[in-house]
Structure 1
Amino acid sequence: MATTPELIHSYISAGLTCTHLEVEGDGHHFSAIIVSPAFEGKRMVQRHQLVYAALGDRMREEIHALSMKTLTPSEYQG
């Protein structure tokens, strides 16, 4: 089964509380805007690790390229 933006959206939202989540892609390369209160007080690397944890093994097996913009709710509003 091909990986779709909708599938990635469901994987992330199942593993991470998000107040806003957008995923776009062509089946090979994906980009995401992820807004989560879990990112408060975390550096960018730590935020990406939270997303990778939500995606689990899918990041290696299904998703080959994912660029992320990870924001807290206050950063997203601002």
Structure 2
Amino acid sequence: MIKEVIESKLTASFSPQVLHVINESYMHNVPEGSESHFKVVVVSEQFENQRLIARHRAVNQILSDELANAIHALSIKAYTPTEWQESGELIPDSPACMGGGKK
């Protein structure tokens, strides 16, 4: 399953204090049981002194095979431990699917 692959790769690469991998495929027009749309919340000391774009690039690099083959959409929330604590440790809601560009 893709979710377990994501969890394994991010755990091995970032040693996160917090890791949530959420399959949001059900929110989209895809077959039941799909694993194509994910939200990742990862909290790691490795993100200290990194800009947000560098954090996202690092996650995208680790998951490059999955992004090229299985994952259609990936939302990344990458925090330092301090940022996570200051956020109230809340996983942000994802916006509703707009149906592939439909408004």
Kindly indicate whether residue 43 of structure 2 is the aligned counterpart of residue 35 of structure 1.
yes
SS in 1 for 2:56: helix
Q: Name the residue aligned to 2:11.
A: 13
- Distance (whole Å) between structure 2 residues aligned to residue 12 and residue 56 of structure 1: 12
- Residue 84 of structure 2 is matched in structure 1 by 76
CA distance in 2, matches of 1:28, 1:63: 4
Larger Rg: 2
Greater strand content: 1
Offset of residue 12 of structure 1: 1.3
Q: Which one has more relative contact order, counting CA pairs under 8 Å at least 6 apart? A: 1
1:15-49 Cα distance to aligned partner (Å, 9 max, x none): 22211100111311100111011111111110011
Report what 1:48 is aligned to: 56
Q: Within 1, Cα distance between the matches of 2:51 and 2:22?
A: 24
**Separation in 2, partners of 1:17, 1:53:** 16
Identity %: 37
Which amino acid is 1:43 matched to?
R
What letter is aligned with 2:76?
A: M
Residues 52-71 of structure 1, C-alpha deviations (whole Å, 9 max, x = no match):
22223222122221101110
Structure 2 regions of 5+ residues with no counterpart? Answer: 26-34, 87-103
Normalized per residue, the structure richer in helix is 1
Q: TM-score, normalised by structure 2?
A: 0.65
TM-score (norm 1): 0.83
Contiguous gaps of at least 5 residues in structure 1: none
